[in-house]
Structure 1
Amino acid sequence: MEEVKNQVSEIDVTEKALKQILRIKEENNIPESHALRVGVKGGGCSGLTYQMFFDENHKDGDTIIEKENLKIVVDGKSLFYLSGTILDFSDGLNGRGFVFNNPNAVKTCGCGESFGV
């Protein structure tokens, strides 16, 4: 398992998103041992969709990125599509939720939940 500490070249998380993730983790009594798994899977109107969930399992080929009090786990295939992505949180007029600012996405759907490369 490859471990990356305090490195922002793969995936970064804004302070706003970090606070929201830690709040959700605390409110749902998610154990400290669980990391935030970020990934992609096939589907959606643009070809790929983002995934985000808390996971206690780490697999061979996972990259672990530490950001303050949060561990982010990304599998190798997803990291290929997410490299350079900044995870943000929006609570503006256009809706409330997490936003993936992905420089690799050449097309996105109108809702921002899927993308294509």
Structure 2
Amino acid sequence: MIACPIQLTEKAKLEIRTTLQANKIPETYGLRVGLRGGACSGTFLLGFDTVTEHDQTYQIEGIKVLIDKRHLMYVIGVSVDYEEGANGNGYTVSTADRER
């Protein structure tokens, strides 16, 4: 299996597993990481989805991660975290650790 080009923090992994179990999401689904919109003006996309013919599939500690091959170069090195704060809870995507 190829090493996953993204990272999931411990909080993100815990929240993903909890969400998958609580919502009884079938094992055929995985965490989709990609872009919405154009490469320069796009925003990161996170969600649960099934594999398509364009996807590369990875495993991070039992979590299936789906990345469209056309988005791969834009998501290499990103880190997905889960934050709880005064403004609510949610996933964050950070590119701060990426080499430029």
- What TM-score do the two structures reach when normalised by structure 1? 0.71
* CA positional deviation for 1:69: 1.7
Alpha-carbon contact 1:38-1:74 (below 8 Å) kept: yes
Equivalence for 1:56: 50
Equivalence for 1:21: 16
Q: Deviations over 1:97-117 (max 9, x none)?
A: 101011499xxxxxxxxxxxx
3-state SS, counterpart of residue 31 of structure 1: coil
3-state SS, counterpart of residue 21 of structure 1: helix
Moved over 3 A (4+): none
Gaps of 5+ in 2: none
Is 1:82 aligned to residue 75 of structure 2?
A: yes
* CA positional deviation for 1:77: 2.2
- What TM-score do the two structures reach when normalised by structure 2? 0.82
Q: Equivalent pairs: percent with the same residue? A: 32
Equivalence for 1:66: 59
3-state SS, counterpart of residue 53 of structure 2: coil
Distance 1:101 1:95 in 2: 18
* CA positional deviation for 1:38: 1.0
Equivalence for 2:29: 34
Equivalence for 1:108: none
User: Which has the higher mean CA deviation after the structures are superposed, 89-98 or 75-84?
Assistant: 89-98
Gaps of 5+ in 1: 106-117
